[in-house]
A and B are shown apart, each in its own frame.
Chain A
Amino acid sequence: MTLYSRQVPHVMGLAVLFCLGCGGPSIKQFDIQPQVLCEGQPAVMHWKADGDLAMTLRLEPPRAGEEECAVEGFDTYAVTLVAHKKGEEALKKVEIGQLRHNAAEPILLATTAVVGSDVIANGDKNVQLWGGYVEVATVAACRHRSIHVQHDNKSVALSPDGAPSAALAGTTLNGSWELRSPLTPEEQQTPALRPKTLQILATVRCRGEKP
């Protein structure tokens, strides 16, 4: 088996846990844990693959975000495992992200219900991506909407001007979120005008990191 990678950033340690590789060209498993890394945090790769293996690491273009609620301080790398044998090729890509100091990460959720005159969006911030070591510093409303936020047994009302609030500071970013926003009279009357998503912006820090 041949394994190589290019220009692994010094802030990420990539350690091989185990590899089962013999016979045909296939990749049965390839994952990296955790996928979102704080500075200096190691990641562990697992794979089960058959064939001659190669690995590439590519910095992806910055994640796009809404202008007033842009993603900041977050770099994404595509790690691709390639298996070759007898002229055939199999590949599998895993993306990993690295948080810089004072990063900003949106929480974007699909709307799910209308209760009274409010629209509600709820769901999880991916617990498989966002480890418990990433904490919320502040939250702010996006898209000029008033948004009432519930998360980790805390709640806060955010004003439509996007002013940040520290009411949820110290909670983990991952896990369940509920966003609630009042509908305008036009939105109440016409379902097609209602928002299909609600969004807030969280500034985040890694646990132990100084504000």
Chain B
Amino acid sequence: MSPLPGRVSTVVLLMLENRSFDHLLGHLRYENLMPDVNGLDTNLAPYENVYQGTGYRLFQLAPGWLSSDIPHEWNFVETQLHYNPVTQQFDMNGFVQAYADYTHTQPLNQVDPMGFFKSTDVPITSFLAQNFLVCDSWHCPLPASTKPNRTMAFCGTSEIYASDKTLIPCPDLIFDWLTKSNVRWRVYHDGFSYFATYPRAWPYVLSDNFRDVESYFHDMQTEPLETSPQVIIVEPSYYDAPHIGPDHSNDNHPPLAIGWGEDFVRRIYQAATVNPERWRSTVMVYYYDEHGGFYDHVAPPAIPYQTRGNPSHSFGSLGPRVPAIVISPLVAAKSVSHELFDHTSVLQFLAELFTPGTPYSADVNQRRSQNIKSLSVVLGDTPRVDVPIMPTTPIQVASELGGGIRTRPENDLQVAFELAAEQLMVSKPNEMKQKYPDLFHWKAVVDDARRNS
């Protein structure tokens, strides 16, 4: 195998929100599209969840809006994993229980967390899975919600264990490491960046390294490989972030309809492949921050982690599996990796690529010693010459105009997003007017709405 730096020039990271592996990719086995993938069997009986004397089966979910978010904070995840003292393992039997506790409803038959999509409902994700490499043992690092898992992904460690209302501490962001390692990098964001919830990231968020996603395709098409970014993070428009105007949330966070995210992923793939020279040595990772409360049938391995903040929290295992697809000429079509990965596998990979012989950090190296592999293990030596053509079939999705103008934040993460936006608009007004002019429109509208509510 030739050295990694000779094979890979560009890494593209696309992390969406809150879907489990079985929910989004279980159909690969269910429909016999990729029978080697550890997805859903056609006999759905073994996946039945118990709640108050009744069994709840998986069912084909319609790709429209859900009636609410699905519980996925750490205490609900504990219920979902359900440690059974008889079998002495997690039996993944508490997803309906958690949903009933969270929504205060008494389900009878079809419960949203037990829904899964067929290939026709997620045509873009299914296309990418079938044309590149599926990682069917990729877990979110912690059995918890968005903020701790994204922090593990982009800091390599976490001081927090819940998605509360506060901004997020992170002593060493991925941008610090990339800058220190002389790696060219850029973030393309669709709307307000998630990284704004890390005060340490504010100088970066307001810098030229952060660009609107609208310029992504053109940049990929025209920038020479020698000067263009080596690491690119693409951010969707977050459901929980403040936004306004024609911008539609497309991060796939429930209760969003899945179509917006599918279309966004299609655009990002088209941009990643537009320049044949760059594409030949590109590795794009399309993955999800956490399972979002949706059912997955694989019990997470018992890899413990103690968060570093005060108070700290001890987790006994990884979180549930999430969808993860490696999109690159360096992987074969319809291929699958059963190796154990989590989000820190990407950080291991970046260190192998850009600082060979020097680990990303002691924390990430600790994950490696716990048998979590580097993403580099899936990459082949010789790039494929074909570029799979993305389906251009229109995706139907019901739209909700004005949905982003919330009278009040609906959850703690939305509070944290608004806190970041408001503090930045006060402390860095000129930079924010340049970078996020739409937020000033949003602020005026919500202030007006809240005064009148």
Binding site for B on A (CB under 8 A): 23-24, 35-36, 60-61, 63-66, 76, 78, 80, 86-89, 91-97, 106-114, 119, 123-126, 128-129, 177, 191-192, 194-197, 199
Chain A neighbourhood of B89, CB < 8 A: 191-192
Q: Which parts of B178-207 form the interface with A (CB within 8 Å)?
A: none
- Asked whether, in the complex, the Cβ of A113 is within 8 Å of the Cβ of B106, the reply is no
Kindly specify which of B80-88, B140-148, B273-281 makes contact with the partner chain.
B80-88
Q: Are A110 and B84 in contact (CB under 8 A)?
A: yes
Contacts A24-B407, A114-B86, A196-B86 known; list 15 others, CB within 8 Å: A35-B108, A36-B108, A63-B57, A64-B57, A86-B402, A87-B400, A91-B65, A108-B50, A111-B86, A119-B86, A125-B53, A191-B89, A194-B86, A196-B87, A197-B93
Question: How far is B112's CA from A80's CA once the two chains are assembled, in angstroms?
Answer: 14
Once A87-B402, A111-B86, A191-B87 are accepted as A-B contacts, the answer to whether A106 and B55 lie under 8 Å apart by CB is: yes
A130: min CB distance to chain B, Å: 8
Q: Is the CB of A76 within 8 A of B44?
A: no
CB-CB under 8 A for A128 and B45, given A87-B402, A108-B55, A109-B53: no
Chain B residues near A87 (CB-CB < 8 A)? 400-403
Given known pairs A87-B401, A88-B400, A106-B55, the reply for A78 and B50 (CB within 8 Å) is no
In the assembled complex, the Cα of A114 lies from the Cα of B84 at a distance in Å of 11
Bound CA span A125–B335, Å: 44
* B45 nearest in chain A by CB position: A66
Whether A96 and B108, one on each chain, are in contact in the complex, defined by CB atoms closer than 8 angstroms, is yes
Q: Which residues from chain B contact A128 at a C-beta distance below 8 Å?
A: 106
Q: Using a CB-CB cutoff of 8 Å, which residues 348-390 of chain B contact chain A?
A: none
B103 to chain A, nearest CB (A): 8
Residue of A nearest to B105 (CB): A94
Chain B residues near A65 (CB-CB < 8 A): 55
> Known interface pairs A80-B67, A92-B67, A191-B86. Does A125 touch B108 (Cβ–Cβ under 8 Å)?
no
CB <8 Å contact, B67 and A93: yes
Where chain B touches its partner, the secondary structure class is loop
Point out the residues of chain B lying under 8 angstroms from A76, CB to CB: 108-110
Question: In the bound complex, how far is the Cα of B52 from the Cα of A125, in angstroms?
Answer: 5
CA separation between A94 and B105, bound complex, in Å? Answer: 7
Partner among A35, A89, A123 whose Cβ is within 8 Å of the Cβ of B400: A89
Contacts of A94 in B (CB 8 A): 105
Cβ of A196 and Cβ of B93 under 8 Å apart?
Answer: yes
Q: List 26 A-B contacts (CB under 8 A).
A: A35-B108, A64-B44, A64-B45, A66-B45, A76-B109, A76-B110, A80-B67, A86-B402, A87-B400, A87-B402, A87-B403, A89-B403, A93-B67, A97-B109, A108-B55, A112-B86, A114-B86, A124-B52, A125-B52, A125-B53, A125-B54, A128-B106, A129-B52, A194-B86, A196-B93, A197-B50
Find the A residue at minimum CB distance from B406: A88
Closest to B84 in A: A196
Cα–Cα, bound, A177→B109 (Å): 21
When chains A and B are docked, how far (Å) is the Cα of A62 from the Cα of B93? 21
B69 within 8 A of A: no
> Once the chains are docked, how many angstroms separate the CA of A124 from the CA of B55?
13
* Docked CA distance A40–B396 (Å): 40
Q: B48 at interface (Cβ–Cβ under 8 A)?
A: yes
Asked if B263 is at the interface (CB within 8 A of a chain A CB), the reply is no
Asked, given contacts A92-B67, A93-B67, A129-B106, whether A111 binds B403 with beta carbons under 8 Å apart, the answer is: no
Q: How far is the CA of A89 from the CA of B65 in the complex (A)?
A: 10
B212 in contact (CB, < 8 A): no
Residues of B within 8 A of A66 (CB): 45
Q: Known: A108-B53, A110-B50. Is A24-B453 also a contact (CB below 8 A)? A: yes
> By the criterion CB–CB under 8 Å, are A113 and B55 in contact?
no
Q: Report the separation of the CA atoms of residues A194 and B88 in the bound assembly, to the nearest whole angstrom.
A: 9
CB distance from A181 to the nearest CB of B (A): 11
Q: How far is the CA of A35 from the CA of B54 in the complex (A)?
A: 14
Q: Does B393 contact A (CB under 8 A)?
A: no
Q: What's the nearest-Cβ distance from chain B to residue A96, in Å?
A: 7
Closest to B408 in A: A24
B174 to chain A, nearest CB (A): 36
